[in-house]
Chains A and B, each alone.
Chain A
Amino acid sequence: MKLLKEVKTYERLQHLMTEVDSVNLALSGDTSEDIAALIEESAPSFAPILIVHLSNQNIVDKESAIATLTELTEALEGIESLELTLAFEPTEAVTNTLYSWVAENVDKNVVLDFRRNPSIMSGALVSYKGKYGDFSGAKDLKEAFVGLRKELKI
């Protein structure tokens, strides 16, 4: 889904879903025929993306727009999230790098759900589709200390 290139995190996905809901509500209730204006008013953050999405499918009437946006909501609900616990708040550049890697190596239909936990020190805790992996610096350090204790026979 082309639209997803703009939605890389779980937070953004939730935001998009809320705005799609608002647009659908506005389209069902308002008598105005200007779909673009209604979208701009109800979805201030994602209006350009939604307008492009509808125009790519040659949608011009309200009924078709509502049907397309409902389909979009269903598709968005099916998107899996990959939970990443980091020791820091990721910048946009970090997010983009991580997203590109995930889209290339895991699945394109995935968003990143970031959590922050400074106690992991570095690296990340990853969980996706019920699978869990601890790739944190804290774990490496703990293992190193265990090895060291064995070596020193403490």
Chain B
Amino acid sequence: MSSQFSKDRFEEYLEKYGEVGVVERVSYPIVQVKGLPTVRPEEVVLFETGEIGHVTTVTPEHVGVLTFSEKPVKLGVRAARTSTPLQVPVGDTLLGKSIDPLGRSLYKSKPSGIYSDYRPIEVLPLGISHRAKITSTLETGVAVVDMMVPLGMGQRELVIGDRKTGKTNFLMQTILNQAKKGTICIYAGIGKKKTDILRVEKFFEDSGIRDKTCIVGSSSTDSAGVIYLTPYTAMTLAEYFKDQGQNVLVILDDLSIHAKFHREISLLGRAFPGRNSYPGDIFYTHARLLERAGNFKSDKGPVSITCLPVAETVEGDISGYIQTNLMSMTDGHIFFDKDLFTEGRRPAVNFFLSVTRVGRQTQTPVRQGLNRELNSFLTLHGKTQSFVHFGAELSEGVKTTLAMGDRVLDFFNQSPEKILDMDLQIMLFCLIWVGTWSKVSVEQTRVELSQITNAYETNTEIKELFSEYVSSAAEFNGLLGRISAESQQLLAQISKVLDKKIAEGPKNG
């Protein structure tokens, strides 16, 4: 892109297209150019000083150009057409790299390399005939989400909540789990602090998933034009990998900031302000982006682009303009509740206010049964808890419900660096549900669950055993019945493996 649109080639473009424009008004990053009579929207315009811009509006008098340079283009500077849409480099070599929305390396010390393939950042989303029903589960590795708000491969699920409520931690856990399963993960940091992007990069490196990930980042000090492009570049990259037959997970962190920059650009471009001063096309801006995700048909079977856009709320208000727009164009949302966060719940997902519109159709009968059981139980537990607040005398039944509820909610507490396999989640929950630890304290239960988790992660025997339990069950109650009957035997088997491991430990040094 950079050599294609270098300053040296300005005269060449002038001559080739025989059209010239002059900058008449500058409202950085928007400039108004007089001239260029046959320029088209989305076309790249090259200025004689070497900067590039992207045509956003065309009127009989002026052409509105969104510029991407760090400094404003000066008045009187000439502009030439290029007859090319804005393109970004794509390719497998971008895996493990951090790039800006124009495809340049985020760090001057690490050049991004030479790319042979470029794709336009704005394309028409594929139509209904190219899409397949979402049938595979997207495992996040976070128990509360996988059990209560299940996601599917190709789903667009909004991650919404106040700042500092654990949204990014959840996204990192999901990326970690998916990258380990071979999914290509693209993280778009929109107008983030440079330190935030570095933190994400470090997490990927420390977790050993850098070669499966790509970061498209723009910092708050970049031009509004560059920030605006960030999610589009991420989606273009995702489409490239999708076309290579790989499943992709795209994180857009976050679209409420993107909307603010779009508003800034539109107001500077003298677009008529609408609700909250956002331009009238703000819905279209986000909808045409999210429409590019989904589950698509291909020769080798369905391939998906799962998209998790993020939106920030203020004081837990999910009825904001941008937030509700995003909710209506996604297939559900996961709400991170500040109150739950302050209560100590990690992740602070409020499953009563969260929605998944397609995730449930991907579940096996066992998981569907588990989800139904959990939903009705947790609703009952919530109601019982509010009833307890009145100070009424508690019956045995209520006490049991409260104790089980506490155990389940404690099981949902998961540290940010931990991810749980689906089989493990189901088995642990079933063991709790059949009352394996009903006589011991919540703390003791936590210790034992942690031991089983460790045994599962380090021992293939247990992994296979759990897998056999889950896959052989036709439905949830059947699995529950088997575990209930064999729980002591199962725990003994796990203890045996653990004891063997402890015994082998000193020998292995």
Contact = CB atoms under 8 A, between A and B. Distances in A.
B35 interface: yes
Interface stretch (B14-22, B88-96, B409-417): B14-22
Name the residue among A127, A129, A130 with the largest chain B CB count within 10 angstroms.
A130
Contacts of A131: 18-20, 37
A44 interface: no
B35 A130 contact: yes
A131 B37 CA distance: 7
B36 interface: yes
A134 B19 contact: no
Interface in B1-20: 14-15, 18-20
Interface in B231-286: none
B34 interface: yes
B37 A130 contact: yes
A130 B20 contact: yes
A133 interface: yes
A132 B37 contact: no
B37 A133 contact: no
Interface in A43-95: none
Interface residues of B, number: 11
Contact of A134 (B15, B21, B34): B15
A134 B14 contact: yes
A68 B472 CA distance: 94
Interface in B33-91: 34-37, 80
B15 A127 contact: no
B36 A130 contact: yes
Q: Is chain B's interface secondary structure helix, strand, loop, or mixed overall?
A: strand
B479 to A, nearest CB: 72
A129 B35 contact: yes
Contact of A133 (B18, B34, B35, B80): B18
Nearest to A134: B15
A132 B20 CA distance: 6
A152 B97 CA distance: 47
Q: Is chain A's interface secondary structure helix, strand, loop, or mixed overall?
A: strand
B14 A130 contact: no
Name the residue among A131, A133, A134 with the largest chain B CB count within 10 angstroms.
A131
Contacts, number: 25
Interface in A110-153: 127, 129-134, 139
Nearest to A139: B15
Contacts of B34: 130
Contacts of A132: 14-15, 18-20, 80
Contacts of B14: 132, 134
B21 A130 contact: yes
A133 B35 CA distance: 14
A77 B14 CA distance: 27
Contact of B35 (A127, A134, A139): A127
Nearest to B37: A130
Nearest to A130: B35
A129 B36 CA distance: 8
Interface in A89-108: none
A14 to B, nearest CB: 14
Nearest to B39: A130
A131 B80 CA distance: 10
B329 to A, nearest CB: 38
Nearest to A133: B18
Contacts of A139: 15
B19 to A, nearest CB: 5
A129 B15 CA distance: 15
A28 to B, nearest CB: 28
Contacts of A129: 35, 37
A74 B126 CA distance: 50
Contacts of B15: 132, 134, 139
A130 B80 CA distance: 10
A134 B17 CA distance: 11
A79 B197 CA distance: 52
A129 B60 CA distance: 11
Contacts of B36: 130
A83 to B, nearest CB: 8
A93 B20 CA distance: 28
A133 B16 CA distance: 10
Nearest to B20: A132
B24 to A, nearest CB: 12
B472 to A, nearest CB: 73
Interface of A: 127, 129-134, 139
Across the A-B interface, give the 8 residue pairs with the lowest CB-CB distance, nearest first: A130-B35, A132-B20, A130-B37, A127-B20, A130-B36, A132-B18, A132-B14, A130-B19
14 contacts: A127-B20, A129-B35, A130-B20, A130-B37, A131-B18, A131-B20, A131-B37, A132-B14, A132-B15, A132-B19, A132-B20, A132-B80, A133-B18, A134-B14
Given A130-B37, A132-B15, A134-B14, 20 more contacts: A127-B35, A129-B35, A129-B37, A130-B19, A130-B20, A130-B21, A130-B34, A130-B35, A130-B36, A131-B18, A131-B19, A131-B20, A131-B37, A132-B18, A132-B19, A132-B20, A132-B80, A133-B18, A134-B15, A139-B15
